[in-house]
Amino acid sequence: MNKQQLVEQIRRKKSFLCVGLDSDSTLLPPHLPQTAEGVLTFNKAIIDATADLAVAYKPNEAFYEPLGAEGIDVLGETIDYLHEQYPDTLVILDAKRGDIGNTSAQYAKAAFEELGADAVTTAPYMGRDSLSPFLEYTDRWTVLLALTSNAGSADFQHLRLEDGRLLYQAVLETAVSWASAEQLMFVAGATQATLFDQIREIAPDYFLLVPGVGKQGGSLEEVCRHGMTEECGLIVNSSRGIIFASKGEDFADAARTKSIALQEEMERELERHHVI
């Protein structure tokens, strides 16, 4: 899915929702087995219940690896299911990769060729050569951590450099020279929404993947006020608040109810900012 297609889906669905598939097997509803098979059943039910409301899904690899080889198989099967049944959704693999070039080349091959993800999250700490292997896949998206929503983001991302810039600003300014808004996105946490104005000064046309709305305290209205563009420019992720909305057999219905509430709020924001 290229940028134009993504914008078209946002306008068609009147939504910029990403459902995070942080499918922790130990938190599955009791009627499902806490196994790889249970996770796959859970994922498919969540996807079927929300696919008309979401433009993206973000399986987090960390919740599949503890299940061993079967967990990786389920991760791949989840991505395949999305591509086969709902090709109008973007699949973002949340893996936060970033290593020296030859290692990153293998990570990129695994994410894009073996697992079939449309996008993968990456960490910029090791610099351009650690991300170049991902950017070589010009028909896929590289999603770069820039300004995260966790409390520890202040440890490094807000350090002030000698030239007066904060470190996250330097990361953004450097990264936009590596790839265009057709290929590169940035992670920006909803709890930092008031700083999105500064991000937009550096990356006015790039999409932002925004976690942290809901349980982490981020405000969707604030995210939109400071970060929305004429093409929307936002993909807002919700994970636990949707997929674990109920611990009962109605978990998929509960996930849909939560997704509808977010989609309706997103539709109002898209109208307010004249995107639709």
Show which residues are catalytic. 96
Per-residue DSSP letter, 168: H
Give the integer Cα–Cα distance in Å for 224 and 202: 17
Q: Collapsing DSSP states into helix, strand and coil, what is residue 121? A: strand
Hunting for tokens 């951590």 — which residue is that?
A: 145
Per-residue DSSP letter, 192: G
* Residues sharing a CB contact under 8 Å with residue 32, sequence separation 6 or more, in sequence order: 38, 41, 42
- Residue 176 backbone phi and psi in degrees, to 5: -65, -15
Six token digits for residue 198:
């500064």
Q: How far lies 147's CA from each of 68, 124, 172, 243, 257, in Å? A: 31, 11, 9, 25, 30
Give the integer Cα–Cα distance in Å for 224 and 262: 13
* Residues sharing a CB contact under 8 Å with residue 180, sequence separation 6 or more, in sequence order: none
User: Residue 101, Cβ neighbours under 10 Å: how many?
Assistant: 13
Hunting for tokens 């433009």 — which residue is that?
A: 55
Give the integer Cα–Cα distance in Å for 257 and 133: 40
The candidate with the shortest Cα–Cα distance to 138, out of 98, 180, 85, is 180
Counting every residue, how long is the chain?
A: 276
Q: What is the H or E stretch that residue 207 is in?
A: strand 207-210
